Amino acid sequence: MRDNEILSRINALVSEEHELRGRLAAGEVTTDEENARVKELEVALDQCWDLLRQRRARRGVGEDPDNAAPARPVRSRTTSSRTPRPTAGKPVAGAGGVGLPGQMDIQRIDLDRPGDLLAGLHDAHLEAFAHLQGPRMSLPDFTRMVSRGLPGDLLEAWAVVEDGVVVAGYGLELPMSDNTHLGELRPLVVRPERRRRGLGTALLAHAADRLRSAGRRLLVAEGETKDPAAGFARARGFTASLGEARRMLDLRTADWHRLERMLGEAEARAGGYRLERWIGAAPPELHDDLVLMMEGMNDAPQSDDVDDMKWDTSRIAASEALDSEFAQLTYSMLARRDSDGAPAGYTRVYVDLAQPDGWGRQADTVVLREHRGHRLGMVLKVSNLLWFREMEPDVERIITWNATSNAHMLAINEAMGFELIDEWNAWHLDV
């Protein structure tokens, strides 16, 4: 089997496991039937991951990966991809192959039926990031990040429970369409009052162990540069990669007359293009255009040892559906060349309907290479901002992220009046 065939097989096995849980909940199979089939799935998953690791190891030393064969599967109870829930009142020490300090209850969160654990991890996340400026992540938005991620990716989440309270935990996302050598923390958090007790270190070791068991070598995280987490990352072997900055535009004090003048000047340079706009999910007839836009986002600066993301219409459709499912209302604009209808650029801003907190979130902005030099980036962003302000009068501020090396986009944002909030790093750890 080739690598892509093995990954497809892994996806199919994981999907079957999820479907099996749903059938059990619906009463379509018995507990014994589910347990028996899950054991078979776990053996098959072990064989797939082992074969994938062997193929990559052989390829790394110049040998033929097709000579690899999976070892006889031996599944450790502590590294099972489907860790059993602990019995009430009996904390699990060292789940996942890592001895956590003291007697601590670490639980894998069932992302199909997360119950209170995911809500508890969200609350811990809010406490861990309470000192930072900017919007707070709503529970639906957090749920999307931890349990759904990008369409097609594999995700898992873990929580440490003390006295019935989630005090720490992390999410882990494993890309499956691209970047199959890495995993991303989404994120690792410890409540402030529970820090300096070894929880973060133990959970990081747990995450690295999970990553290695999945045949991956690079753990990726992000954090604010002045946050204590930056020192934690450096002390544990992470290296700083891509620098990023968060900026905010206060719509209550923005110079709207100046923005309108800037738009007029940019439009004078952008003759031969027209704008299309829509609210919510993009109609299917635009999905091919959005594939080109998202592939164009690969031109933006990115971390070392991170590959371009791959997109197709099914992934676009799934991503658009997730926006609606998790209460994110988007306002999008597409620039199109008049002469041939070719898509040229794209931008979008969204609001979190689950948390009407006065914040808008600037998301993707891109102009494809052959259409650059016409001020389309400025036209798109300012036009969309003016429309967004008209449609969402209660929004007071908009936040945006950019790589600190993305000079062109930073120049546009600063000209519009965005002001620096803080700077972040992408952190890499070779496991």
CATH classification for the domain delimited by 246-424, as one of 3.40.630.30, 3.40.50.720, 3.90.550.10, 3.20.20.105: 3.40.630.30
Residues whose CB falls within 8 Å of the CB of residue 136, separated by 6 or more in sequence, listed in order: 126, 129, 355, 357
Q: What pLDDT does residue 55 have?
A: 73
Q: What is the DSSP track for 273-337? A: EEEEEEESSPPGGGHHHHHHHHHHGGGS---TT-PPP---HHHHHHHHHHHHHTTEEEEEEEEEE
Q: What pLDDT does residue 62 have?
A: 72
Pairing label, strands 218-224, 182-190 = parallel
H or E stretch including 198? none
Task: Report residue 118 as tokens.
Answer: 């995911």
Tell me the CATH class for 87-216.
Answer: alpha beta
- What are the 10-residue block averages of pLDDT along the chain, 431 residues in total? 68 68 80 84 73 66 77 36 31 36 74 93 96 94 92 94 94 96 95 92 94 96 92 93 96 97 96 96 97 96 91 95 92 98 98 94 96 96 98 97 94 96 96 94
The Cα diameter of the chain in Å comes to 70
Q: What pLDDT does residue 53 have?
A: 61
Q: Is the pTM of this model over 0.85?
A: no
Task: Report residue 50 as tokens.
Answer: 């082992």
Helix, coil or strand: residue 392: coil
Task: Report residue 385 as tokens.
Answer: 């901002």
Domain spans of the chain, in order of start? 1-73, 87-216, 246-424
SS3 content of the chain, % helix, strand, coil (to 5): 45, 25, 35
**Do 87-216 and 246-424 agree at the fold level?**
yes
